[in-house]
Amino acid sequence: MSSLLGLSFIGFARGQSTAAPYRAINPATATALEPDFFPATAAEADKACILAAQATPTLAALSGKKKAAFLRDIATRIEAATPSLVARATQETGLPEARCQGEIGRTMGQLRLFADLVEKGDWIDARIETANPDRKPLPKPDHRSLLRPIGPVAVFCASNFPFAYSVAGGDTASAFAAGCPVIVMGHHAHIGTAEIMGGLIVEAVKANQLPEGTFSLLMGEGRVIGQQVAKHPALRAIGFTGSRVGGRALMDTAAARPTPIPVYAEMSSVNPVVLLEGALASRGDAIATGLLGSCTLGVGQFCTQPGLIVLTRSDAAESFINKLSALFTDCADGVMLTAGIHQAYQKGLTARAAQAGVKVVAQGKSSGQPNRAVATLFATDAKTFVADASLQEEIFGPSSLVIWCADQREVDAVLGALHGNLTATIHGTDAELAQHAALIARLEAIAGRVVVNGFPTGVEVSHAIVHGGPYPSLSDGRTTSVGSNAIYRFTRLVCFQNYPDAALPTELQNLNPLGLSRLVNGSRSNSAL
């Protein structure tokens, strides 16, 4: 830990200690941690962007094999540094050691997934249309397309994932995989962890002989230095995980630039869970136990935390809510990531409890220690919910709102009023699911992932995962921020017309030297031309 300098990485150089410093705080004890961290200066942020622009063509020309080696090297360095990463992160975040260990495993898994993807190479969507000089009325030219890196990407780290959505997290891994330089804004909630991780990436950049501008890590406030980076002419895209206010501010900045750029912000989601009567009658207790676990996992600080529970009045539903209430009441409090998050949680609970038509159904135990969140279950009725959009604002933490519906029409009204979400969940018997196809289609329309008879927390890192959904869950509801599809966020299409074979990117050359699956004149082929 003594090796922490509290300074940004501007390419291979370190930032200066000129700005007013701040410290990381241990939220479990509300005490400040050594050492001082110095926000990046405006000149340093500018330098990071210019270095990234300079690195762009070299990274764009990098083979999939070389990108894979770089990503795997980062993973290997993380593996070796795991003890120091865990030691620092547990102090900074209050997260238990096992969680940090698990999240580091996931982070390495993400890096290796993207390494495999780019080494294989098919992801690049190589397409070839061969020339036909005899075509009437006009000859057909040879033209070939693939995906190219979009250019420098700024990554804003998440408070709630010190590893998987931070310095070497999914946004960084997918941007590197696409061939983009990355400028990371460290999160103050785990800035020491960020510095350790940043050092590992810089070592990997050097060891793989990549250009200096491949990676920079800026300490400091997203609202100041992050906005400056977002406006920088060299920047081409933004990845962000955080609050709706913060994400929307970046979206607005990016849209107002002389040259607008895409923003991939994962912002807020209340993850509705619809419970049908038959499911509650046949396995209500199991659903209650599973739901409690999903609501309170990680002290409710997951973007897929189920914040809305939608059901119709029935005996089974009443006894289910009694069971769920008992579980909430039994629940111990947990330390939140930062004092700020804890204060926001408290404020959210107080405001919701004061709303007309909303009541507190159950509340967990309080230990009285600092920054602890008490699990809280609210309830309201469908009419109140539909009439008040503020009831679908996320209260980040272990709190959920039960929405009692009189009948299926009210359930439809509730779903019709919902904004976009990362996930939507439904529990029903086979017969109920077959009967409620329209309801399931409604869930699909408002979410990026629909879960049947399961729980929304626990996001797979795979080829088929979608961690995205309509606004405001994502700024750009077409995409995903997790899984191999995330790479496409940082790419652009380019077509090469009438190129001499040797001047083409390897992926498009006649002999298909990489053995890719390519779309040749509309048919898939792994062969040479």
Q: What residues between 494 and 513 interact with a second copy by CB under 8 A?
A: 494-500, 502-503
CB of 333 to a second copy, least distance (A): 25
The reply to whether 20 sits near a second copy by the rule CB under 8 A is: no
Nearer to a second copy, 369 or 462 (CB): 462
CB of 206 to a second copy, least distance (A): 24
The reply to whether 66 sits near a second copy by the rule CB under 8 A is: no
> What part of residues 261-300 is at the interface with a second copy (CB under 8 A)?
262
Query: Which of 303, 405, 410, 507 is flagged as catalytic?
Result: 303
For residue 55, give the nearest of 240, 218, 262, 209 by alpha carbon.
209
Contact 481, 88 (CB under 8 A): no
CA 168 to CA 439: how far, in whole Å? 39
**Pick from 454, 506, 525, 529: which binds a second copy (CB under 8 A)?**
454
The reply to whether 181 sits near a second copy by the rule CB under 8 A is: no
CB of 462 to a second copy, least distance (A): 5
The reply to whether 23 sits near a second copy by the rule CB under 8 A is: no
DSSP 394: -
The reply to whether 517 sits near a second copy by the rule CB under 8 A is: yes
**Pick from 83, 133, 134, 138: which binds a second copy (CB under 8 A)?**
138
> What part of residues 117-136 is at the interface with a second copy (CB under 8 A)?
122, 127-129
The structure tokens 């048919």 sit at 523
**Total residues in contact with a second copy, by rule CB under 8 A:** 82
Q: Please give the structure tokens belonging to residue 233.
A: 């002419």
Nearer to a second copy, 157 or 391 (CB): 391
CA 292 to chain centroid = 23
The reply to whether 143 sits near a second copy by the rule CB under 8 A is: yes
295 is catalytic: no
β 153-156/13-14 pair status: unpaired
- The pattern of x and - marking residues 410 through 449 that bind a second copy according to CB under 8 A reads ---------xx---------x--xx--xx-xxx-xx-xxx
Amino acid at 76: T
| Binding segment toward a second copy, per CB under 8 A, in 137-145, 178-186, 325-333, 366-374 | 137-145
DSSP 344-388: HHHHHHHHHHTSTT-EEEEE------TTEEPPEEEEEEHHHHHH-
The reply to whether 492 sits near a second copy by the rule CB under 8 A is: yes
**Pick from 233, 357, 458, 515: which binds a second copy (CB under 8 A)?**
458
CA 426 to CA 449: how far, in whole Å? 11
Nearer to a second copy, 357 or 458 (CB): 458
β 399-405/376-381 pair status: parallel
User: CB neighbours (10 Å) of residue 59?
Assistant: 25
CA 42 to CA 19: how far, in whole Å? 10
> What part of residues 237-266 is at the interface with a second copy (CB under 8 A)?
251-252, 255-256, 259-260, 262
Residue 458 backbone class (left: φ over 0; alpha: ψ -120 to 50; beta: rest): left
- The pattern of x and - marking residues 83 through 112 that bind a second copy according to CB under 8 A reads -------------------x----------
DSSP 306: -
Nearer to a second copy, 356 or 438 (CB): 438
The reply to whether 524 sits near a second copy by the rule CB under 8 A is: yes
> What part of residues 149-168 is at the interface with a second copy (CB under 8 A)?
150-151
CA 491 to CA 60: how far, in whole Å? 10
CA 133 to CA 482: how far, in whole Å? 44
Nearer to a second copy, 231 or 419 (CB): 419
303 is catalytic: yes
**Pick from 286, 351, 452, 528: which binds a second copy (CB under 8 A)?**
452
| Binding segment toward a second copy, per CB under 8 A, in 78-86, 292-300, 375-383, 489-497 | 489-497
> What part of residues 348-407 is at the interface with a second copy (CB under 8 A)?
none
CA 40 to CA 19: how far, in whole Å? 7
| Binding segment toward a second copy, per CB under 8 A, in 24-32, 280-288, 304-312, 488-496 | 488-496
The reply to whether 487 sits near a second copy by the rule CB under 8 A is: no
CB of 444 to a second copy, least distance (A): 6
Q: Alpha-carbon torsion 100, 105, 108, 114, what sign? A: negative
The reply to whether 462 sits near a second copy by the rule CB under 8 A is: yes
For residue 301, give the nearest of 372, 364, 377 by alpha carbon.
372
DSSP 97: H
Q: Please give the structure tokens belonging to residue 453.
A: 């008879």
Helices (H), 257-333: 277-296, 315-330
CA 320 to CA 410: how far, in whole Å? 19
The reply to whether 140 sits near a second copy by the rule CB under 8 A is: yes
CB of 151 to a second copy, least distance (A): 8
Nearer to a second copy, 406 or 434 (CB): 434
The upper half-sphere exposure of residue 517, i.e. CA atoms within 13 Å in the direction of its Cβ, equals 6
Helix (H) or strand (E) holding 128: strand 127-129
Active-site amino acid positions: 266, 303
